Chain A
Amino acid sequence: MSSTLASTGFTQEAFDSFLAARDEPGWLVDLRRQAWARFKELGMPARNEEEWVRTDIRLFKLERFGFPTGQFLDGDMPHSLLAEGVELGGSTATRDSANAGTQLSEKWASQGVLFGDLAELAAEHGELLRPYFERRVVDPRRDKFSALNAAAWAGGAVLYVPRRVRIDQPLHAMSALSDGGVDLNKTLVILEEGAEATLLTETASLTHHGGGLHCGSIELIVEPSARLRYVNLQNWGDQVWHFARQKAHVASRGGIQWTIGALGSRLAKVNQHVALIGEDAEAQVNGVMFTQGRQHLSYNTYQHHVAAHCRSDLLYKAALQDESRTVWRGMIKVDRLAQRTDAYQRNDNLMLARTARADSIPGLEIEADDVRCTHGSTSGRVDEQQVFYAMTRGYTRQEAVRMIVEGFFQQVFDRIPIESVSEALGEAIGRRVRAIAEP
């Protein structure tokens, strides 16, 4: 056995034991205790809350899970899709929220870059990281899941890049989950002024049909003129419950390109939020989703224009087969001071089965009066004429459908400049596509 899990439930006693087993600075323990108090106050989200109306979690039993207290000794790790064939500047991994090792190239470590296990680095570099923790980019009071993660996060990666350090090799972080395991990872990325980095994060189960719980958070802090390329591939087993809040703060002239791949989990409820808080900041958000079986993936995106002269561009594409379901709710929020905003959001859905369902709900909330904000949404089936044409050229029906699905996603793949990422996503999706029934 490579790790031990204590599924004691999220009780006060278990929380006290969890804290006692960790040697953390007082300020961090205080933050955890505040979040724990909030966790205990809050009930599970009500079904009539707009965010949860289309996502039914009545079958989710929180009491079946508990604090991850395991130590990773050795054992299997899932195969990485994103790191294959890539020359990495560093990598870190967790399994069931336990640190499974880190390496960082001396070239970057010598320039002051910190990368690795969040708990370890928070203990070693507490004074440096404390202000970023205290910024609470993801609000721990927002709901029961965000409070749980803030109180009980364990494992996860931190990347800190000092001023004007430009990392030209991707870094990779893997979070693995054993069947029935618990992952409460928190990811914290800080790019100081003028810094640049590419971080590929990936979640995966040890088995395709593995279950478990992920309740996570991602905080991305992009300081003035910094540039972050961030890829987050969710590839859990198909029985995993996935709850996540993810948020970026982008300061003036900063930029983020944020790509999400969502392939796994039984049910996923994700809030992805980009706040452009300094003038002339920009964000490009890409989403690739493929669902099958009875999967339910719900993504709530929020492009928040706080400052003037900022640009945001979001494209989410989903293909659905079997009885799966996706929900995308997108909002562009433009504050009163955010004049000259240029914002766009689009969601396209390709229905590979009549029994699949995609809910696409774009929204705009604009308080400024000199902006350009547009949005679009499409949902459609595979064009039988295209299938027929491909089959006349010698392709099987499955190959034809696979090509059409690949073509559907090409638009978003073209926006991802990291070749290994678009190739990995394309291959993973291609393997999942089955032939659709003839009409």
Chain B
Amino acid sequence: MSDFVAVAHPAEVPDPGSMLVEVEERLVVLIHAAGHWYALDDVCTHDGGPLSEGPIDADAKTIACPRHGAKFDIRTGAALTMPATKPTVAHEVKVDGDQVLVRLKSGS
């Protein structure tokens, strides 16, 4: 299993907001919404679009792909609207002091 990797300082990411980070040679979008932290693969499963450049809806807990508008659940990575039909990968996040840490989902 991967270890938690420090990726950001909490103050670096506004709420709501997101930030693109690299974790073990993988692009991950770190999301800060309604006081909670989430991390997803920065890949829209429809067309490979960068979710880190898409808008976040903190109330609905979604992030939308900037290319075609597919929405994903920021908690689970589930694809919620067309044109995406497959989930993107969700990773574990925790805040420890002044660090936000991400652990890649095992086997992902």
Same assembly: yes
Bound-complex Cα distance A287 to B22 (A):
33
Task: Say yes or no: B25 contacts A59, CB within 8 Å.
Answer: yes
Task: Say yes or no: A53 contacts B25, CB within 8 Å.
Answer: no
Bound-complex Cα distance A58 to B29 (A):
13
Bound-complex Cα distance A56 to B48 (A):
8
Cβ proximity bits B42-80 to A, threshold 8 Å, 1 near / 0 not: 010001101000000000000000000000000000000
Q: Chain B binding site: helix, strand, loop or mixed by DSSP?
A: loop
Which B residue's beta carbon lies closest to that of A327? B48
Contacting B at CB under 8 A, from A32-64, are 47, 53-54, 56, 58-59
Which B residue's beta carbon lies closest to that of A54? B48
B27 interfacial by beta-carbon distance below 8 Å: yes
By a CB distance below 8 angstroms, the chain B residues around A59 are: 22, 25-27
Which A residue's beta carbon lies closest to that of B26? A59
Q: Return A300 CB to nearest CB of chain B, in Å.
A: 16
Q: Return A292 CB to nearest CB of chain B, in Å.
A: 16
Bound-complex Cα distance A54 to B45 (A):
11
Q: Return B5 CB to nearest CB of chain A, in Å.
A: 15
Contacting A at CB under 8 A, from B1-54, are 20, 22, 25-27, 43, 47-48, 50
Interface size (A, Cβ < 8 Å)?
6
Contacting B at CB under 8 A, from A56-76, are 56, 58-59
Q: Return B8 CB to nearest CB of chain A, in Å.
A: 17
Which A residue's beta carbon lies closest to that of B52? A58
Q: Return A119 CB to nearest CB of chain B, in Å.
A: 34
Q: Which of B25, B26, B27, B47 contacts A54 (CB 8 A)?
A: B47
Q: Return A47 CB to nearest CB of chain B, in Å.
A: 7
Which A residue's beta carbon lies closest to that of B53? A47
By a CB distance below 8 angstroms, the chain B residues around A58 are: 20, 27, 50
By a CB distance below 8 angstroms, the chain A residues around B47 are: 53-54
Bound-complex Cα distance A244 to B26 (A):
24
Q: Return B49 CB to nearest CB of chain A, in Å.
A: 8
Bound-complex Cα distance A64 to B27 (A):
18
By a CB distance below 8 angstroms, the chain B residues around A47 are: 50
Bound-complex Cα distance A56 to B41 (A):
13
Which B residue's beta carbon lies closest to that of A55? B48
Q: Return A130 CB to nearest CB of chain B, in Å.
A: 43
Bound-complex Cα distance A54 to B47 (A):
7
Which B residue's beta carbon lies closest to that of A355? B86
Task: Say yes or no: A53 contacts B48, CB within 8 Å.
Answer: yes
Q: Return B101 CB to nearest CB of chain A, in Å.
A: 20
Q: Return A221 CB to nearest CB of chain B, in Å.
A: 36
Bound-complex Cα distance A342 to B48 (A):
35
Bound-complex Cα distance A47 to B27 (A):
14
Q: Return B3 CB to nearest CB of chain A, in Å.
A: 19
By a CB distance below 8 angstroms, the chain B residues around A54 are: 47-48
Which A residue's beta carbon lies closest to that of B50? A47
Bound-complex Cα distance A58 to B49 (A):
12
By a CB distance below 8 angstroms, the chain A residues around B50 are: 47, 56, 58
Bound-complex Cα distance A54 to B48 (A):
6
By a CB distance below 8 angstroms, the chain A residues around B27 are: 56, 58-59
Q: Return A225 CB to nearest CB of chain B, in Å.
A: 45
Closest 8 CB pairs of A and B: A54-B48, A58-B27, A59-B25, A56-B48, A59-B27, A47-B50, A59-B22, A54-B47
Q: A53-B47, A56-B50, A58-B20 are in contact. List 12 more A-B contacts (CB 8 A).
A: A47-B50, A53-B48, A54-B47, A54-B48, A56-B27, A56-B43, A56-B48, A58-B27, A59-B22, A59-B25, A59-B26, A59-B27
A-B contact list, 16 entries, CB within 8 Å = A47-B50, A53-B47, A53-B48, A54-B47, A54-B48, A56-B27, A56-B43, A56-B48, A56-B50, A58-B20, A58-B27, A58-B50, A59-B22, A59-B25, A59-B26, A59-B27
